[in-house]
Chain A
Amino acid sequence: MPRKYVIGIDLGTTNSALAWAAPPPDPRELSPVTLLGVPQLVNPGEVRDEDLLPSFLYIAGANDFPAGSLELPWPSADSSMVVGELARKRGTENARRLVSSAKSWLSHAGVDRTAPILPVSAPEGVTKVSPVDASRRYLEHLAAGWNAKMPEAPFAEQQVLVTVPASFDAVARELTLEAARKAGYQDPVLLEEPQAAFYAWIEKHPDWRERVQVGDLILVVDIGGGTTDFTLISVTEGAGELQLERVAVGEHILLGGDNIDLALARHLEQQLAGQGKKLDALQLNALWQQCRLAKERLLAEDANRGEHPVTILGKGTGLVGGTIKTKLLLEDVNRVLLDGFLPLVTSEEMPQRRRMGLAELGLPYAADAAITRHLARFLRQQAAASEHGSVRRGPSGLACPTHVLFNGGVLRSPVVRDRMIEALNNWLRAEGMAPIQPLLGEDLMHAVARGAAYYGMARAGRGVRIRGGIPRTYYVGIESAMPAVPGLPAPLKALAVAPFGMEEGTDLKIPAREFGLIVGEPAEFRFFNSATRKDDEPGALLDGIEEELEELSPVEVNLTGAAGEMVPVTLETVVTETGLLQLWCVARDGRRWKLEFNVREQVSR
């Protein structure tokens, strides 16, 4: 049998990547991780290998591209679905056929994520796809790219790891796995992105054990194109060896590098409007790209310029005459970026919350652009949650990390990193703690895919594993046995069924409690989770649905059995090897029912 490769896949919001390793026969050894150049259409009729596959899907119409110009090196069942760089490019010209940020939709509980809803603003007659389907196509493309480059090692026979944001809840994880399976992946394993970034750092630093010590707390800050993700990893000791334990994950924050570039573009657009120059949508898009470039140059390590020219070339063939020119000033970048997105706040300042009665159907973007306030909230939340694992804290209860690892394109800029460190150090100083030490990763755009491949080897006994388990506590809603009150639903209690940190490949029984399960007719189940309540033991019953509990999509199922029968059951929780959460109801006679997270229902309360 041919040797199995380990393949790590970063299914990103704006970019995806694939890294692989060929584990050596000796399980104690590790081998280097390599990035795969993913073949993709970059222009009509032109396929090129690129390290990143832009996570964009363009649903091409009959006249979008010249005939035969969408051929890939592999046969494609549906060539009207363009994935990658060409999709991104063409999407700027015809946005209504472009699917973007499918991953954020995948984690959006307010919509039916298996229904064809994307692109949201597609005109009548365009075949829409579901968030799951779009993700499936990115995964399929990566697999096909692998097969084209490595024909002797079919993708379906390799060990595959797919990363998800740590903030993904059980439903979003399940949907990611569903997309992977539909893409033909065999037994894919999920891994959290910040953990993958940390594995990538370990891969680059085989001497990592000398760089951290027991009691250290490592903060992973991952700012991608569209999302921000925080994780805390604690360094502990077990069996005389250093161990790593993921002790906290943040909420899903839809805020990232694209917001920063757009803010800069809007700033310049207003300036130009003041001079009587109006930009159309395409020009604004060009301005957006130019701002990204100008920002990167102004903030680069060796930059010493105070401004960078920004030019929008004329629209028609009159190029010079129609050129609009302006410049991006370093002080503007600093003002927008540092004061707008990374203000120096105290650790007590919490992000503003959106409280709107009506909102447009769309992604729940973060209402507060200040990443530092979101970070303060994250570290503060760990104060509210009492002890789980060994979290290093200051006198006020604030979690006090000793190290910080940065990941994501935005953090390639030293100015941004320094600002984050400055904010963190202000908080640490107020708590009487020593300054934080940055851990430098090298390849911030590809670290997640690399780290996933490394983890694939670590799973097989080749290196350290971060212990983590599920990053939230899960609850099921239980109707309380109380006399009915007209006009009021029976009060709901929340029963903890899966504790924070429950490890993959384990199961547990909810002790000494029987519940009435309605079978034979449709019944609704409500699920909740919390990233902050970490001490609720399985079986703990909360008297009400508290603020800290977030509701998942409700589940309506019709379990087999005699109509209207109420079966006394006990509950069992299973976390599968791949990180999926399952809840089983077991009757005294041995009958078992599995409650699946269903995503067809919308959360409408």
Chain B
Amino acid sequence: MIEQIQSVLTNWDAMLPVLPQLVVSGIAIGMLYALIALSMTILYRATTVVNFGHGDLVMLGAYALFILMPMVTFNIAVESSALGLLASFVPPFLVALILSLFVLFAMGYIIHRVFIWPILKGPHLSLALMAIAIGYAVRGVIRKEYGKEVLQMPRPFPEQEFEVFNWGGIGTYMTLDEMIFCGVVIVMLLVSYIVFSKTRFGQIVQAMFQTQRGSSLVGINVMHYNNLIWGVGCSLGALGGVMLGLALALDPDVGVWTLLRGFAAMTLGGFGSLYGAVIGGLIIGILEKVLGVFISTAFIEITCYLVIILVLLIRPKGLFGQHATLRI
């Protein structure tokens, strides 16, 4: 590692022009972390539960699209089917995407209603273990069915890269995937902001975040709203999974990776803060890239752990978090 730092300092002139690329790539991957963190934050805002099985639901979102895509394509051939009718207006990939988000919404709703709600007032450890157990179960099923091979998600558009910046003859590139990731996350952040701060639904969720018992006393159907929020959170996570699936091959174990990044982004941004989750994701994305090139590629994997340790030690509420009782 020391040799690498010395090498960087010696070749500073050669290394400096790659910095814009590191920042751009960091932002692009950070947007993905941000989306995962955003979905975990939404879940946390309503129920004050950190879903430690969330990464596997993100992974399931990607597999759901992979599984649904051939069904959609097949049904398109059957013109009289409902899917065939829908697909005549929107591309098949989009149909499969909408269906997979719906499937994950239903899964989130059911998971909360069947597995989380009955033990919600129990020890925090039970909730964490239940979430982990559900994640493992989901991963096990997917691995059993699809673990024998590395699969590729169907792509709705070809991979392309664009030079967005040039410094001294060294280009800074972004792929179409990365541009779309950034656009989707920005839209999702705006939608989340509007829903959670400008609508009655958001007010109810905020009330539940502050006190579920109090919300119940004023007539809010807490269980129903919790179910809905779990559905929305899982659905948003699935969107992250689909984006991840486009960038990578499908892998049943991607959930662990996803959870750690999302959790680190959420910790850095502050538990419960929507824009904190996004800023946290971006910072971690950029840090991974910069430390990876300028110190050692080993830092790419450990940056999220370092962030979690440092934030919890120095500023436990994160950059934009509020003091609140944390139910893990």
Q: Do A and B bind each other?
A: no
Give A residues with C-beta under 8 Å from B.
none
Give B residues with C-beta under 8 Å from A.
none
